[in-house]
A and B are shown apart, each in its own frame.
Chain A
Amino acid sequence: DAGVIQSPRHEVTEMGQEVTLRCKPISGHNSLFWYRQTMMRGLELLIYFNNNVPIDDSGMPEDRFSAKMPNASFSTLKIQPSEPRDSAVYFCASSGLRVYEQYFGPGTRLTVT
């Protein structure tokens, strides 16, 4: 298996632009998690899905952030409009029956100027 796939790996955009991050979980995994990592705040859980349904989005910072999982093999995290304080590394992770053993993707490094 190729593991969790994220794209793009790097994204540089200007303030106010829409940003879409993509994730393909490991085949057969039914839970998917979006995290954000910064030096200041560490690793934060933004939202997670179980069987494509959003279960907990309490970590989503504000309405500018939205996430979807239209099917078991694809999820997106969208920021519209983006702001410089959104600059971070965004990780997607998935897990199967052993829910707590999460497999992380390589991350997307987002820079908003």
Chain B
Amino acid sequence: AQSVAQPEDQVNVAEGNPLTVKCTYSVSGNPYLFWYVQYPNRGLQFLLKYITGDNLVKGSYGFEAEFNKSQTSFHLKKPSALVSDSALYFCAVAIYGGATNKLIFGTGTLLAVQP
């Protein structure tokens, strides 16, 4: 079955430092992978996606993610963290085929950026 795992419940980083939020996936076939962000008391917002092509994907708010097929990973990264990046981050994989097209979300990682 298609699934993603986020091994860290929380990541703490100081403002200005680089950040990484980890995600590994398990899929049959080629993966479609996504990152979403949830700010407090808000719905999820799309950040970026990997469908095919360049392994380094750039998204909103200066975030990027690196697709690594050999390690089955899709880690979210940002060179310099901001306090405003503090939020809950979800990795997701798409299940597709026939009439079924949906996302399976990971458990989420809370990113806390300290000033």
Contact = CB atoms under 8 A, between A and B. Distances in A.
Interface in A20-42: 31, 33, 42
For the side of the interface on B, what is the size category?
20 to 34
Interface string A48-68: 101000011000000000000
A104 B44 contact: yes
Given A43-B90, A100-B32, A100-B49, A105 B99 contact: no
Main secondary structure of the interface of B (DSSP, over half): strand
Contact of A91 (B34, B44, B107): B44
Contacts of A50: 99, 101
Interface residues of A, number: 21
A31 B96 CA distance: 14
B100 A55 contact: yes
A93 B102 CA distance: 11
B43 interface: yes
Contacts of B103: 45, 100, 102
A105 B107 CA distance: 19
B45 interface: yes
B27 to A, nearest CB: 14
Contacts of A96: none
A24 B99 CA distance: 23
Nearest to B107: A42
Interface string B31-61: 0101000000111111001000000000000
Contact of B46 (A45, A56, A103): A103
Given A43-B90, A100-B34, A91 B102 contact: no
Interface of A: 4, 31, 33, 42-43, 45, 48, 50, 55-56, 91, 93, 99-107
